[in-house]
Amino acid sequence: MIISSYQYPCNLQKKPSSMKLRLASRFLRAIRRIRRISHRADRCQAIRAAAYTSMACVAGSSRAWSRALLRKIGDSRRVTVSSCGNRNPITRSGLENRLRGLVPGGDEMSDVKLLEEAVHFIKCLKAQVDVMKKILMCSSM
Amino acid sequence: MEPGFDGYGGGGVGMGFGLEEIHGVVAVDRPEKQGSSSSFTALLELSTPQAVELLVKEDLTDKSIRPPFFPCDASLIDRASKFSVFASTDNSLENNAVLSGLSLEMVKQEPLDSNSYRNSSSHSSKRKQGEKQVKDSNKRIKKDEAIDERGEKLPYVHVRARRGQATDSHSLAERARREKINARMKLLQELVPGCNKISGTALVLDEIINHVQALQRQVEFLSMTLASIDPGIDFNLDCLLAPEIGTSINHSHSGLFPPAVWLENALNSSRHHQYQQPWHFDLHHHHHPSLDKEEDLSTPNFSIPENSLLSYGSPAISASRHSNGLKTEV
């Protein structure tokens, strides 16, 4: 896995374009490295991994979902795990389970926290998609 | 007993009793009231003229006969003092006395408080009131320092339950939690387009889940497309910062890319498949779910069989194949 070695706190109060810039720079660095892989399917996998990795790195350790992602990648050095227990483990409706499956690290979150993390995750995901689209468009020029 | 009461009764309208008097009262009362569970009944245990005198001297309104003592209920005072905000002294008895003094102040200041009247008439509800007050003092403290005329800097917690809502501590916590969840749902609704008109948590959650899945499918598709482009292209940030996006379609290129509109249609129209946990990536599993989905679209020409991808060694050939497939579409 290609992991950029730069930690950046994702602050959503700043202009969203700053987050996109950070995403873009990290992602491009990863893509440049990925291009050396010959096999196309491997490249596809690697690019997708790089997308999620750059999202997680830009979000930093301040978010539970990014921590979960980084942990999954195997980045145990930089992830500071602050574990506060699950406060409402009882109510797990069917809908929420789907959301838990979608948001990384959602299994261990309480309901309230799940919604918070979902908000941030959706924002980062949207930014990442926009960056990738722009890359595509620019590269076709 | 009687001198103690007289001393208390002679204290005037409410504010005159000092700590020692209450101390005396409490100390005196306690051995008496072992068997009684309510201060009201304790009051009744006094001889009638004494009780009447007590009540009259307190100058209560005619609306209510209220027992002036909370201190008789020692267990309540004990519990309240444990949770007490101003529990600075170690002497629990003093604490009790202080708390009881303030309770009395509350009683005197708010003679029209029907809540306290109702609650004070029975032991269990008094407990509840004490508990509720105490618990709410932990949660949100409304300092009522106008009451405190004697200069003791002790906040009194005076909380009313909202109209038509239970005052149970559990329901309070649940209500707070529900409010939190509703606030977060509102944020999510603003984030996801098209959710503002939908009312109802389940439908909104459905929309949100669909949106997340669509975004993840987009990531898949874009990464696949990015993987198939010519590696000879040099990316730099300047082209990213350029605002124009949709005008770059006309250029012929070895790696032909679909126009932005077509991309959007392809990505947004496919909602048939549920794709759970796409961020569980590993290199050994050659999994291309986006390809499977594309076959279901109304654009069947785009379907690239997976084996053809794997069989091509050089990216250039595969890219041209890709472009041929796309050209038929465009």
Test the A interface: residue of B189, B213, B235 with most A CBs within 10 Å: B235
Residue B262 has what pLDDT? 52
Taking residues A75-94, what's their average pLDDT? 55
Are A139 and B257 an interchain contact pair (Cβ–Cβ within 8 Å)? yes
Are A95 and B206 an interchain contact pair (Cβ–Cβ within 8 Å)? yes
Residue whose structure tokens are 């020409």: B301
Q: Between these two residues, B65 and A111, which has the higher pLDDT value?
A: A111
Residue A100 has what pLDDT? 86
With beta carbons under 8 A apart, name residues in chain A contacting B279. 52, 69, 72, 104
User: For residue B49, is pLDDT > 80?
Assistant: no
In three-state secondary structure terms, B243 is coil
Confidence of residue B279 (pLDDT cuts 50, 70, 90): low
Residue A82 has what pLDDT? 55
Tokens, residue B28: 């005196």
Residue B302 has what pLDDT? 41
Average pLDDT taken over every residue of chain B: 56
**What DSSP character marks residue A140?**
T
Quick: pLDDT tens for A123-138: 999 999 998 888 888 8
Residue B153 has what pLDDT? 55
Query: Of A28-42, A98-112, B69-83, B259-273, where does the model show the most confidence?
Result: A98-112
- Provide the percentage of residues in chain B whose pLDDT is more than 90: 5
Q: Which residue of B has its CA nearest to A138?
A: B239
User: For residue A113, is pLDDT > 60?
Assistant: yes
User: For residue A115, is pLDDT > 50?
Assistant: yes
User: For residue B214, is pLDDT > 90?
Assistant: yes
Are B240 and A104 an interchain contact pair (Cβ–Cβ within 8 Å)? no
Of A21, A38, A41, the CB nearest to B309: A41
Are B248 and A141 an interchain contact pair (Cβ–Cβ within 8 Å)? yes
Residue B252 has what pLDDT? 41
Residue A87 has what pLDDT? 52
User: Is the pTM of the predicted complex or chain greater than 0.95?
Assistant: no
User: For residue B143, is pLDDT > 80?
Assistant: no
The answer to whether the beta carbons of residues A59 and A124 sit under 8 Å apart is yes
Identity at A7, one-letter amino acid code: Q
Confidence of residue A44 (pLDDT cuts 50, 70, 90): confident
Taking residues B128-138, what's their average pLDDT? 47
User: For residue B137, is pLDDT > 90?
Assistant: no
Are A96 and B242 an interchain contact pair (Cβ–Cβ within 8 Å)? no
User: For residue B4, is pLDDT > 80?
Assistant: no
User: For residue A10, is pLDDT > 80?
Assistant: no
Confidence of residue B175 (pLDDT cuts 50, 70, 90): very high
Strand partners, B143: B157
Of B226, B263, B286, the CB nearest to A47: B226
| Distance (Å, whole) CA B155 – CA B305 | 75
Angle of helix B74-83 relative to helix B92-109, nearest 10 degrees, comes to 100
With beta carbons under 8 A apart, name residues in chain A contacting B256. 140
Residue B24 has what pLDDT? 52
Taking residues B147-167, what's their average pLDDT? 59
Q: How many CB pairs under 8 A join A and B?
A: 170
Cα B327 to Cα A137, B225, B252, B253, distances in angstroms = 17, 15, 11, 12
With beta carbons under 8 A apart, name residues in chain A contacting B248. 137-138, 140-141
User: For residue B67, is pLDDT > 80?
Assistant: no
User: For residue B100, is pLDDT > 70?
Assistant: no
Taking residues B274-296, what's their average pLDDT? 46
| Distance (Å, whole) CA B149 – CA B105 | 9
The answer to whether the beta carbons of residues B282 and A1 sit under 8 Å apart is no
Taking residues B152-168, what's their average pLDDT? 64
Name which of A2-11, A55-64, B68-77 the model is least confident about: A2-11
Residue B176 has what pLDDT? 92
In three-state secondary structure terms, B242 is coil
Q: Which of B292, B131, B278 is nearest to B219 (CA)?
A: B278
Q: What count of residues does chain A have?
A: 141
State the DSSP string of B87-118.
TT-S-HHHHHHHHHHHHHHHHHH-TT-HHHHH
